[in-house]
Amino acid sequence: MGAEPKVIRLDEIADVLAAHFRGKSEITVYVGSNAATPTASLEALTAAVEERRPGLPFLRMVHLLLQGPVPYVAPGLQDRVMTYSIFSAGEVRAAANEGRAYYLPCTLANLDSLIGKGRRFEPDAVLFKVSRNPFTGEYSMGLSVEALHTAVDNARIVIAELDPSMPFTEGQSVVDASSIDYLIREGVKPVHEIPAPDFDHLPAAERRIGELIAEHFIRDGVTLQVGIGKIPDAVIGSIRSAAYRDLGIQTEIYGDGLMTLQKAGIVTNRKKKVNQGYSTTSLVMGSRELYDFVHMRTGVQMRPSAYTNSAETVRRNSPFVSINTAIGVDLFGNVWADFIELRRYYSGVGGQPDFVRALNDRVHGTPIIAMKSVTEKGQSKIVKHSPPGIGLTASSYDGVVVVTEWGIADLRELTVGGKALALAAIAHPSVREELMRYVLEDPMFTKPFGYRPGATPRGVTLYAGRIPLEES
């Protein structure tokens, strides 16, 4: 197993960094993410920054989504520490919108292009959580593998929190003791938990979306990528009710919903072409029941994001269905998910572009963008054009399938005019007529030959189920 790491206290993290990087003006610190955010270490390091601890270099903190408090993004510390967030929420999102944090756009499949050897953000140090196998003594990255292997392999200093609340996950999560320089045992805060979904009381709009996807795209033996949230939960609930068989999972994040399908025997992973027999994921986040389920379970195995999100792995596991959501879609079929508008940053691109591009030929499967037709404020998510200046997670040429509570718009192999008609047809009734008129009256949207106003456009399947909507 190699040499055991040296045990240190939380308040010694800054001293370790100062000693190892004496004379350096700045260093890059890669931070473990999501449910396995090393919150106690971040708080201890922030305290040292606030105290202007002598010898501590400027810190560039690079990470995906961090759960819990992130104190170093507080106003007034940016001359000593800055965050470079690849995916954000909460305090980090607010800081980025106020100029106190950087948003670093990158898909999960391409993380190594940022932090690999010789790259701009190659880590000098790593902060992350580990669990330990009580029988073998091995360490595991537990709930967050993402790009940690690359970070650990390239960093000069590796500091890990040993967290007894974190499950020991199987697969490529195991890290040798000799790869860890320092271990923190005391004062570690537990992993982040989120409540399990209530499949029996999901909102009507989400349930309609789930029903549409389950009925029209799920078949026995398909491999799934599904995220976390009300719409993915509704899809999973519909799949569970329909009792499909032998589904597989290859996803970037594994939550309670996918666990539910696996416990029910609907997910068996028997039909997968690669990683047959077990679910693969780079992140796990959810309830304590979920964490207990994945603990030492060979049926759920961790892999780096560069593998789970790679086009090659996705295509080899076809037929594949990818289900993601978005902030908006315009009539050209452009999709965006990290910005609400030019000056309102929201989250990050995550792995959505990875799966969309991997499935750009229908022979491999279906990339679905599932979203409610309106925001909580009643604003349409299907609009005439995307906000100027923002990036896109899927472009018009990617050919996605958009699903709202009103129906399905399969944009693959449609012309610009065909895409516009299809999207207008599944928009909310409050804007549908306006959008349809806009498309019909603008000659730039060349209409499909023989199309008659009022007819269902090509690629559209309207909702025909029995779930009523209050707003309808």
Q: Is 252 part of the annotated catalytic residue set?
A: yes
Same domain flag for 273 and 313: yes
pLDDT digits (tens, 9 = 90+) for 245-297: 999 999 999 999 999 999 999 999 999 999 999 999 999 999 999 999 999 99
Q: What is the CATH number of the domain that holds 138?
A: 3.40.1080.10
Same domain flag for 178 and 237: no
Give yes or no for a contact between 309 and 356, defined as CB atoms under 8 angstroms apart.
Answer: no
- In a domain, residue 296? The reply is yes
Cis amide leading into 319 (omega within 30): yes
So what's the pLDDT on residue 2?
61
- In a domain, residue 191? The reply is no
Give Cβ neighbours of residue 201 (< 8 Å, ≥ 6 apart): none
Same domain flag for 16 and 69: yes
Bridge partners (DSSP) of residue 61 are 29, 83
Q: Note the pTM of the prediction, 2 decimals.
A: 0.96
So what's the pLDDT on residue 200?
85
So what's the pLDDT on residue 228?
87
Domain end (from 184, 213, 235): 184
SS3 156: coil
Structural domain range at position 434: 199-462
Structure tokens at 263: 């416990």
- Which parts of the chain have pLDDT scores under 50? 1, 471-472
So what's the pLDDT on residue 334?
98
Same domain flag for 66 and 206: no
- In a domain, residue 469? The reply is no
Between CA 235 and CA 377 the distance in angstroms is 24
- In a domain, residue 1? The reply is no
Catalytic residue among 91, 146, 206, 252: 252
From first CA to last CA, the distance across the chain in angstroms is 62
Domain end (from 123, 154, 184): 184
Task: Say how many residues make up the chain.
Answer: 472
So what's the pLDDT on residue 472?
41
On the CB side of 96, CA atoms within 13 Å amount to 25
Domain end (from 184, 210, 226): 184
Same domain flag for 360 and 445: yes
Name the residue among 414, 412, 6 with its Cα closest to residue 180.
6
- In a domain, residue 167? The reply is yes
Same domain flag for 168 and 232: no
Q: What is the CATH number of the domain that holds 429?
A: 3.40.1080.20
Same domain flag for 86 and 226: no
- In a domain, residue 470? The reply is no
Same domain flag for 86 and 211: no
Number of domains within the chain: 2
Between CA 433 and CA 311 the distance in angstroms is 38
Same domain flag for 166 and 233: no
pLDDT digits (tens, 9 = 90+) for 201-255: 999 999 999 999 999 999 999 999 998 899 999 999 999 999 899 999 999 999 9
Between CA 81 and CA 63 the distance in angstroms is 14
Same domain flag for 65 and 163: yes
pLDDT digits (tens, 9 = 90+) for 10-53: 999 999 999 999 999 999 999 999 999 999 999 999 999 999 98
Same domain flag for 174 and 210: no
- In a domain, residue 164? The reply is yes
On the CB side of 466, CA atoms within 13 Å amount to 0
- In a domain, residue 454? The reply is yes
Same domain flag for 209 and 125: no
